Amino acid sequence: MSAVRSLRLEYLTPSESHSEEWDDVLGAAAFDGGARDLGAGLDFPIAHVHMPVLGDGRQMLEVWRAGGRPQPGSHGRVRYARSGEFLFGSLAVHESQATPPAGSRARTPLEIATELAYREMYAALAAAGDPQLVRVWNYIPDINLDTHGLERYRQFNAARHEASLACGRAVAGNVPAASALGAARGSPLTVYFLASHRAPTFVENPRQVSAYRYPSQYGPRSPAFSRATVLGEGRDATLFVSGTASIVGHRTLHAGDPAAQTRETLVNIEALLQEAARRCGSCSLRMETLLYKVYVRDPKDLPVVKAEIESALGSGAALLYLKADVCRRDLAVEIEAAGGG
């Protein structure tokens, strides 16, 4: 067993989690209060994401496990746990409480919160021996709202860019896979992340312009993420697919047609999977063995989105449906995925 294979992901309902063993949990994300019943005394970081779970209206937990017993730690606002090569971390920043870090050019409360979050994430990583970022999840309240003359998602991109430059981090090329979704109004900016002491492979989608090369029509600073990353090689590869949408080149396709957007998004994920397999030496990655988080902007689209996904992946795939605003107003759905072969 390689070290990479010891990283495991599952989606649990709170009732399933009652009987769980927590000893090997590296970290978790709780959607819509999914950690409420977990009980006290758990040592791992939990990102609390204020986002409705669709389907049976349940709260859900995204659980990352690693071999051994992870060691907890904290640095600034970051809570983290380490096991072997892996580090999982989580932090939340309330915009109302954020004061600009020294040397910051942030103008808006969200820019300040984003700069703080990213600087603290980088500082925590540096203090932990500098494992490389593999995957970052960003949950941003009112992501599509215009304030201070700029959409908040674009403010987030500007501040992520600034913080990364300030901390000597890449803003293109070797950048982690990521997602950026809307969270409930009034909730804090919530960021969680996975890092590894083994360098990932950074994968781009041949059907899409790299997000970090998007033209300026999508905002003054491009989104600094890779379309996917892979840890390990061959049969031991673990794939992390960024939030993926109905974008070809840099343009949105099928505006107003959630079914067609879902199909196009799955074609994008399949293309990424093929590209990842090529890059990591014909690994055994398959669409059927990945786990998926599906973000749907309007719950009334859920039946058509679900129908498209089930016809592509079968009814046995591991899926978590969430209601979230997506980072372009003309996108109705976004899908992320992770898993091994």
Q: Which residues bind ligand 3EB (CB under 6 A)?
A: 138, 178-180, 211, 223, 225, 242-243, 245, 247, 327
Residue 195: which of 59, 329, 89 has the closest Cα?
89
In Å, what is the CA distance from 101 to each residue of 52, 93, 127, 147?
Answer: 32, 13, 18, 21
Of 179 and 196, nearer to ligand 3EB (C-beta) is 179
In the bound state, the residue with its beta carbon closest to ligand 3EB is 243
Per-residue HEC secondary structure of 315-328 comes to CCCEEEEEECCCCC
For residue 15, the one-letter residue type is: S
- Minimum gap (Å) between residue 129 Cβ and ligand 3EB: 25
Residue 148: which of 214, 95, 93 has the closest Cα?
95
Q: Indicate the pairing of strand 132-141 with strand 146-147.
A: unpaired
Of 12 and 170, nearer to ligand 3EB (C-beta) is 170
Of 200 and 223, nearer to ligand 3EB (C-beta) is 223
Alpha-carbon distance of 233 to 73, in angstroms, equals: 29
- Minimum gap (Å) between residue 83 Cβ and ligand 3EB: 25
**Which one is catalytic: 120, 151, 264, 334?**
334
**For the chain, what's the residue count?**
341
Of 18 and 213, nearer to ligand 3EB (C-beta) is 213
For residue 236, the one-letter residue type is: D
- Minimum gap (Å) between residue 157 Cβ and ligand 3EB: 6
- Minimum gap (Å) between residue 314 Cβ and ligand 3EB: 25
Alpha-carbon distance of 231 to 253, in angstroms, equals: 31
Active site residue 336: no
Active site amino acids: 334
